[in-house]
Amino acid sequence: MKLKIPPALQVAIFAILMWVIKKLTVITHFEFEQQRTISWIIFVIGILIGIIAIYAFRKARTTADPLHPAKASKLVIVSIYKISRNPMYLGMFFILLAFAVRLGSFFTFPILILYVWYITTFQIKPEEKVLTKLFEEDYSIYCKKVRRWI
């Protein structure tokens, strides 16, 4: 794979971008009574999705290393992987969504779309090519049954 930036670091970069945008845009902020609580709930959902996804990889005794998908020894299609082919990235999306809600700036939400495009283009699609080579028809069948995100 060409990408050498760990996805967790990518999320941090997008979060920093969101924070900078919030600081640069003064009049587009919003606040509501349960904003902090809702952002925490979304954050916890993101963390739980990630934990469940990693646990499924650990239970299958295969690598969860996003920079080296060729090291995968098994195709994980159980648990949360029945709902999403990329729950770890979905969990990261929820973490960024929680941050956007917490920041309270309308201009941070387009960054979520940029994140989905970026991670799909530069992380997920290259991973899919590797997994197609590794698991051939089994992976193709899985892709037909389960959506990339949700």
pLDDT score for 3: 64
Q: Which amino acid is at 24?
A: L
As a whole number, mean pLDDT of residues 15-41 equals: 93
Beta strands in the chain (DSSP E): none
As a whole number, mean pLDDT of residues 53-74 equals: 93
pLDDT score for 5: 87
What is the number of other CB atoms lying within 10 angstroms of the CB of residue 9?
10
The domain limits of the chain are 33-64+72-145
Residue 144 backbone dihedrals phi, psi, to 5 degrees: -75, -25
Q: What is the pLDDT of residues 29-49, one digit of tens each?
A: 899 999 999 999 999 999 999
How many H helices and E strands in the chain? 5, 0
Q: Which amino acid is at 119?
A: I
Q: What is the pLDDT of residues 97-113, one digit of tens each?
A: 999 999 999 999 999 99
